[in-house]
Amino acid sequence: MADFLGDGIFNVDGDIWKYQRQVASHEFNSRSLRKFVETVVVSELNERLIPLLVTAAEEKKVLDFQDVLKRFAFDNICKIAFGYDPAYLLPSLPQAKFAVAFC
């Protein structure tokens, strides 16, 4: 397993794990990360979720709200963690193999 994962936080124990956790913890609590997360989530709200809900209301269309929120969360997680926008929350509510495998 070490050959595949190396000495990353998911593959070490003891003092090395503690050190890596402290470094990661500091980064995840930084102001810049919180601002980045806020920017990504607000963008996804304003550009995708709210327009989708407004359109559905205007057209009196029934939505599976659990599916919509899953898509919203998936897009945000991918953007924040990987810098990749899967565009899973679009008006057409597309099926994506990656999203289906992930969720």
> pLDDT for 32-54, tens place per residue?
888 999 999 999 999 999 999 99
> pLDDT for 71-93, tens place per residue?
999 999 999 988 999 999 988 87
Average pLDDT rounded to a whole number, residues 18-30: 72
**25 in any annotated domain:** yes
**4 in any annotated domain:** no
5 pLDDT higher than 70: no
If one compares 64 and 26, the residue with the highest pLDDT of the two is 64
In order, the DSSP letters of the chain are -HHHHTT-TTS--HHHHHHHHHHHHHHHT-HHHHHHHHHHHHHHIIIIIHHHHHHHHHTT----HHHHHHHHHHHHHHHHHHS-----SSTT----HHHHHH-
If one compares 74 and 19, the residue with the highest pLDDT of the two is 74
Predicted TM-score (pTM) of the model is: 0.70
**3 in any annotated domain:** no
**What domain range is 74 assigned to?**
9-102
